Amino acid sequence: MASNWFRFAAPASFYPLAGRLIPVFWILTGVCLLVGLYWGFFQTPDQLGGSNAQKEYYRIIFIHVPAAWMSMWLYVVMVCWAAIGLVFNTRLSFMMANAVAPTGAIFTFLALWTGAFWGRPSWGTYWDWDPRLTTELILFFMYIGYIALHSAIDDTRRADRAAALLAIVGLVMVPLIFWSVNCPDPNQCAALHQRSNLTQIEGNILFSMLAVTFGFWMYSFATTLMRLRSIILTREADNTWVQELLVKGGRA
């Protein structure tokens, strides 16, 4: 059983597996997003909140919150792959971390963008130095830093390891940064964002939020695997199995 798992740690055997999985993930993405967005737009209340009611525009939540969740989750995923790569010196893990980064950056950007559109009607401004918003921006810088460092180093080996170390340092620092912007005055703390508590959310809203999150997750799988396949091809271009693949592809 164990040998089966290690078989897929080799890029050559993972490549075709990824190819078979990608359509599955795309279908799941489509289904989840359709269900989630339909439910979010038509099966949820028009008003939200008690004392400071949020009107129709609150429906941005169905994109905003899942995107923010995914942006943080993908960073953790990226750091995990990077750490596995550093410890076990496995090529595929580094490639995985590499493939996750752009998707993570896109979700971070999406969360910031939708946040600005939500902020305009509800806070009266596109941007505010709210702790979570600021931290999301920092997270975006982290992704950009990872990608920039990786692309600045020509030697793939060094690029992989250096970027991995940076990602790990970033993971340590992000909570600290969040804490410092959340609580700039250690004598007292305040924040614009409402405290979130999943149990207080209305069932329909929670359902569609989770459905979209799941859809985003499947989307991450699909895009990451697609990117991973192209990374594998570029890096293993000199290997015989890629050459054989090219010959086969040319004939078909």
The nearest distance, CB 217 to other proteins, in angstroms, is 26
Please tell me whether residue 171 binds other proteins under the rule CB under 8 A.
no
Q: At what angle do helices 91-123 and 11-42 cross, to 10 degrees?
A: 20
The span from the first CA to the last CA of the chain, in angstroms, equals 34
Q: 65: which 2 tokens? A: 């919150």
> Which listed residue (19, 23, 49, 184) binds other proteins by CB under 8 A?
184
Q: Are 82 and 152 in contact (CB under 8 A)?
A: no
Give 186's DSSP letter: T
Applying the rule CB under 8 A, the residues between 74 and 113 that interact with other proteins are: 89
> Which listed residue (26, 180, 235, 241) binds other proteins by CB under 8 A?
180
Judged by CB under 8 A, the stretch of 21-29, 64-72, 177-185, 203-211 that binds other proteins is 177-185
Please report where in the chains the tokens 């990872």 appear, as a residue.
Answer: 146
Please report where in the chains the tokens 């993930």 appear, as a residue.
Answer: 25
Angle at 137 between CA 77 and CA 185, to 5 degrees: 110
Q: Which is nearer to other proteins, 135 or 208 (CB)?
A: 135
The nearest distance, CB 101 to other proteins, in angstroms, is 14
Tell me the number of residues near other proteins by CB under 8 A: 29
Write the CB contacts of 112 (distance below 8 Å, at least 6 apart in sequence).
133, 136, 137, 140
Please tell me whether residue 177 binds other proteins under the rule CB under 8 A.
yes
The nearest distance, CB 143 to other proteins, in angstroms, is 11
Give 165's DSSP letter: H
Q: Give the residue from 49, 66, 63, 56 showing the smallest Cα distance to 202.
A: 49
Applying the rule CB under 8 A, the residues between 127 and 156 that interact with other proteins are: 138, 141-142, 144-145, 148-149, 152-153
> Which listed residue (2, 176, 190, 252) binds other proteins by CB under 8 A?
176
> Which listed residue (31, 80, 162, 245) binds other proteins by CB under 8 A?
162
> Which listed residue (125, 157, 191, 237) binds other proteins by CB under 8 A?
157
Instruction: Kindly list the distances between the CA atom of residue 124 and the CA atoms of 63, 121, 127, 185, 195, in Å, as whole numbers in the listed order.
Output: 20, 5, 9, 25, 19
Q: Are 72 and 251 in contact (CB under 8 A)?
A: no
Q: Which is nearer to other proteins, 9 or 53 (CB)?
A: 9
Please tell me whether residue 169 binds other proteins under the rule CB under 8 A.
yes
Query: Interface with other proteins by CB under 8 A: which residues?
Result: 89, 138, 141-142, 144-145, 148-149, 152-153, 157-158, 161-162, 165-166, 169-170, 172-173, 176-177, 179-181, 184-187
